[in-house]
Amino acid sequence: MSHLQNELLQQFESIVHTRRYLHQHPELSFQEFNTAKFIAQELRSYGIEVHENIGGNGVVGYIRTPNPTKTIALRADFDALPIPDEKNVPYKSTVDGVSHACGHDGHTAALLGVAKVLQNNRDQLKGNVKLIFQHAEEKPPGGAKAMVEAGVLEDVDYIFGAHLASDLPIGTLATRVGPTMASVDAFTIKLFGKGGHGAHPHQTKDSLVIGTQLVNQLQQIVSRRVSPIEPAVVTVGSFHSGSAFNVIADKALLEGTVRTLNATVRKQIEQEIRAILDGFKVSSYVDYELDYLNGYPVLVNHEEQTNLVTALIQQEFGDEAFQIRQVSLGAEDFAYYLQQTKGNFFYVGSHDGTEHTAYPHHHPKFDFDEQALVNIGKVFLKIIEHYLIEEII
């Protein structure tokens, strides 16, 4: 274990304290003003150069060195979710209906711990470290896209990010080469029919009935229009129509998501949805409005950097600690960084076998073994050691 790793271990209590403070004070996507200020203040207290309001509420810490060989970026996200905190813990959220139910508080605390260690040892670095603290990962269009457009990667050679994984035991880490997480699109469909009395359906254009037919037909896109060897999901998650038991609804509202791992399939599904709606307009005599949002792209890990992270995990934790991550149709806006710059996104096991840490991400009782934060930090430090301390350029 290197002296950087030892120094990180000595910071464990401080990292946990930071995580629990953030957990008690969560802020929703695009509203993380106080969280961003907290991060900036922490970085400045370490003596790190700070840039604020990057692409919105994004914060960047910059550790510069003379005559840098490379610039390596490390990223953490810091937004929370509109989910109540139902845990019985001293660090429970103090904001009603809002909680860090995905672990972003942990990601941020881990990277702040790494930042302090690197700043304390900056004289040993051969290159620069850019510490990217990103807002709004949870809500498309997301914070990553805006930060990239603001130029956060312009001088970056490689970028790395981590995510806690409640489905992996503590001490286990995972990643994979290539497509790893799906693209995510969102759609809202408004149907406009003709309402009327429940006793006289022939005088109406029943938006509720037409909406139920639409839901069924949307499901057939994946089962009958997309190749069965291409992973894809079309989910209608919200359906609202009608106001009384004896009134035929004149309007219906449907909201859903599309997930794919293939850009061609992604485009095909959007075209199929539009074609189905055009068909309903003709066959069912309804008008419609479609709001279709192309969200995060497919997250594609680069081979060289993924192989490096795999090797570093095995060196630090042992061969048995590494797993090849299964492809997920969940989404992550870290994908935008990987479209621009080579890098890797890896996963760090966070459950310790107890019920307390067994709940999945986005559950009101989600929590994790805080030792996982040190494991994130260890991998980040191994990456920096490889590129900026040990590697012979």
Known catalytic residues are: 79, 137
- Determine the Cα–Cα distance for residues 304 and 79; give it in Å rounded to an integer: 30
Q: Which two tokens stand for residue 263?
A: 């850009």
DSSP 8-state symbol, 325:
P
Closest CA to 162 of 154, 153, 174: 174
- Determine the Cα–Cα distance for residues 271 and 83; give it in Å rounded to an integer: 33
Helix, strand or coil, per DSSP, at residue 294: strand
DSSP 8-state symbol, 321:
G
The response to whether 362 counts as a known ligand-binding position is yes
Closest CA to 75 of 111, 105, 40, 101: 111
Residue found by looking up tokens 């076998």 in the block: 353
- Asked if 95 contacts 16 with a C-beta cutoff of 8 angstroms, the reply is no
Amino acid at 359: Y
Pairing of β 71-77 and β 128-134: parallel
The response to whether 163 counts as a known ligand-binding position is yes
Q: Which two tokens stand for residue 146?
A: 């805006």
- Asked if 59 contacts 115 with a C-beta cutoff of 8 angstroms, the reply is no
DSSP 8-state symbol, 292:
E
- Determine the Cα–Cα distance for residues 20 and 93; give it in Å rounded to an integer: 9
> Helix H segments across 165-283?
207-220, 263-283
Pairing of β 183-192 and β 287-294: antiparallel
The response to whether 351 counts as a known ligand-binding position is no
Helices (runs of H) and strands (runs of E) counted in the chain: 10, 16
- Asked if 93 contacts 99 with a C-beta cutoff of 8 angstroms, the reply is yes
The response to whether 391 counts as a known ligand-binding position is no
How many angstroms separate the Cα of 300 from the Cα of each of 55, 56, 197, 237, 261? 23, 25, 53, 27, 9
Paired with 63 in beta bridges are 129
- Asked if 75 contacts 89 with a C-beta cutoff of 8 angstroms, the reply is no
Q: Which residues sit in the known binding site for Mn(2+)?
A: 102, 104, 138, 163, 362
